[in-house]
Amino acid sequence: MPASTLRAAIFLGLGSLGALGTLCAPRAEEFASWSHHAELLINTSASGGNTAVTVTGFPLLVRLTAADFPFSEAKGKGEDMRFSSAAGRILDFQIERWDSANGTAEIWVEMDTVKANTAGQTFKMHWGNAGARAWSNGGAVFDNATGSVGVWHLGGSGQRPNSAPNGNPAFPHDFSGDGSRPGVIGRADTLGGGNPASYLDIGDGYAALDSGFTFSAWVNPVSGSQEIRILDLGNGAAQDNIAVARLAGSETLAFSVRNGSDASKTITADGALASNQWQLIAVTVSGDKAVLYRNGIPVVSETLTRTIPHVYRKENFLGKSNRPGDGFFQGKLDEVRLEKVPRGESWLKLSYENQRPDQNVVSFKNPIGCAQKFAAPADTSVAEGGSLDLIGTAQCADHWLWSAASGPVPRILDPEVKILHVTAPRVSGDTVIRYQFTATYGAQAKSGVVTVRIRETIPDPDYTLPADLTWDGKDALILKPEWKPQTFKALDARPLHYVWTAPVLETDTAVTADGLKLFPTAKQARMLVRLCVDNGGAEVCREIQVWINLSPVALRANPSRGGKPRNGSRPRWDASGRIPFQGNSAIFSGP
């Protein structure tokens, strides 16, 4: 069976059009089963993609928003979406994101041909079939046969899938919990560059890049003093590396190749990697010719002194170098692609113009009608430590945003959503916080405020310490807090965190399950010991004064207070696990 026939047979088994009652692709005339369709325009003239050469097999990005598409007419995850060419041929596509609740979607459609310098090319989008099954297929859009090796849309959680068939996923290392943020296209990954630093491991392989090479990515870097690698493919330091980097302390984009350990010249493009802004960078190699691009424009073209070798590579990363001493990428990455063909200037120019947020390449021929509707959610309440969703309505809006109106509003990580997930903070007494929901319709903005009452339901810890006392220093002494019943009830919801401090402490100590243990001492002193406890809310602090009197007197309460702290060194651990509190700021804390 020819490869093209086999691919078609496999693809046909991936989706089903329930209204047709068969596991096969629809013919154009059968789209009568879909209740809605719209005609889309592709503009490659000077006012759009501005491309001079026709490209084929191009993944075209289609963005949908609530301002131009009625999400309520389609299935909840876009399962009924279909695309066809002007001639009626069914087009493969991949849904990168479909968020009907927030009214946004990004879809990659494989166009067999995108004509150069024309504003009138059309294709169709179909939706509205309750029986249709999902047809999204990234492997059909980003096929190995057309050059794709790695296509990582990035963002999300867990490993980042590779849309290229049989390609390695990208495995995140040491990512923080909020690493996925809004990007140029859907979500993006935020790499921190801390210790430990976050990066993406893209697995083994990448041998077949000697016949052609293209790397592209949307990057938004943070300025830094160290050299960083955006891409590093290789077998360790200075071995078979293909590297795309930012030179130390600069905004210079650099590219280099190693054939074994023999390095090529480094090709550089000054100012091609601006800090704190999004840009689409690309590097292409054909034979010994390398070209560096920024935002679809070639900025440097030079001849490599060493060409890319055909070699299996085991150490391959996004945001991490194979060379010790290099820094880690800090900033955001989105839509990373690695291809075994050298893409041309028109392809990369069209990619930038199509993918930029303010693109003019794809539009509706006839705008779809949409009835405007706006509403902020109703006032509500939640117990401290609990959570809820605030759902705003902004039908047909161009943009929407959540912001803090008043009160102790927790940090809003992702404000540009319709559904805001709120985790109530700890409060002392019932507390009111207010959020503002704003939507824009052209030049008009509409806003509404929602009041959220946080109910105090978790009591703060309550306890007492022994009365002030005198100690002869001979036998160990335990300063034990006495817990009130409500504290143990609060432990069902929140663990205790405690901190012991002492301005002057002339004895070894250890924290036990009972309290702070003071070991025997031969020093005479007056100590003010302080304990602060919290369970996620306000600290509750108590103090006790201990007078170490080496005279043979009984342990007794001592109502006197005072004592002058003495300067000293910072506390250090000793071999026994005790802390000799020698200074004027000795601290021990526990979970």
What contacts 411, CB < 8 A, 6 or more positions away?
A: none
pLDDT at 293: 98
Question: In 93-241, which ranges are E strands?
Answer: 93-99, 104-114, 121-127, 148-152, 171-173, 180-182, 187-191, 199-201, 213-221, 228-234
Report the alpha-carbon distance of residue 415 to residue 413 in Å, rounded: 6
Cα separations in angstroms, 404 against 281, 408, 449, 455: 36, 9, 9, 19
Cα 202 to chain centroid distance, Å, stands at 17
Each residue's pLDDT tens digit, 18-61: 333 333 444 544 688 899 999 999 999 999 999 999 999 999 99
Residue 430 phi/psi, 5° resolution?
-55, 135
pLDDT at 570: 31
Placement of tokens 């390695």 in the chain:
168
Asked whether the beta carbons of 190 and 208 are under 8 A apart, the reply is: no
Phi-psi label, residue 335: left if phi above 0, alpha if psi -120 to 50, beta otherwise: left
> What are the tokens at 482?
């006495």
- Max Cα distance, the chain (Å): 105
What's the full length of the chain, in residues?
591
CA atoms 101, 102, 103, 108: torsion sign: negative
What contacts 87, CB < 8 A, 6 or more positions away?
A: none
pLDDT at 503: 61
Phi-psi label, residue 550: left if phi above 0, alpha if psi -120 to 50, beta otherwise: alpha
Report the alpha-carbon distance of residue 61 to residue 95 in Å, rounded: 10
Which run of H or E residues covers position 347?
A: helix 345-355
pLDDT at 49: 94
CA atoms 219, 221, 227, 232: torsion sign: negative
pLDDT at 67: 87
pLDDT at 48: 93
Cα separations in angstroms, 94 against 3, 79, 91, 109, 134: 21, 11, 10, 7, 10
Report the alpha-carbon distance of residue 79 to residue 182 in Å, rounded: 23
- HEC profile of 244-300: EEECCCCCCEEEEEEECCEECCCEEECCCCCCCCCEEEEEEEECCEEEEEECCEEEE
Please give the model's pTM, rounded to 2 decimal places.
0.67
Report the alpha-carbon distance of residue 413 to residue 12 in Å, rounded: 41
DSSP secondary structure, 554-574, as one string: --EE-----------PPP---
In order of their start, the domains of the chain are 1-147+358-368 (no CATH), 149-340 (2.60.120.200), 373-455 (2.60.40.3010), 463-590 (2.60.40.10)
Each residue's pLDDT tens digit, 176-191: 656 778 999 999 999 9
Mean pLDDT by 10 residues, the chain (591 residues): 34 33 46 90 94 96 93 95 94 96 95 95 95 95 96 93 97 77 93 80 97 97 89 96 94 95 94 95 97 98 96 97 91 97 97 96 85 89 90 86 93 88 86 95 91 88 88 88 72 70 71 84 84 82 88 46 35 34 39 45
Report the alpha-carbon distance of residue 378 to residue 347 in Å, rounded: 49
**Strand-pair partners of 63:** 106
> What are the tokens at 235?
């077998």
What contacts 180, CB < 8 A, 6 or more positions away?
A: 155, 156, 157, 187, 188, 189, 190
Strands 253-259 vs 242-246: parallel, antiparallel or unpaired: antiparallel
Cα 426 to chain centroid distance, Å, stands at 26
pLDDT at 487: 63
Report the alpha-carbon distance of residue 548 to residue 541 in Å, rounded: 23
> What are the tokens at 336?
């990373």
Dihedral (C-alpha) 336, 339, 232, 156: value to the nearest 10 degrees? 30
Placement of tokens 């041309």 in the chain:
344
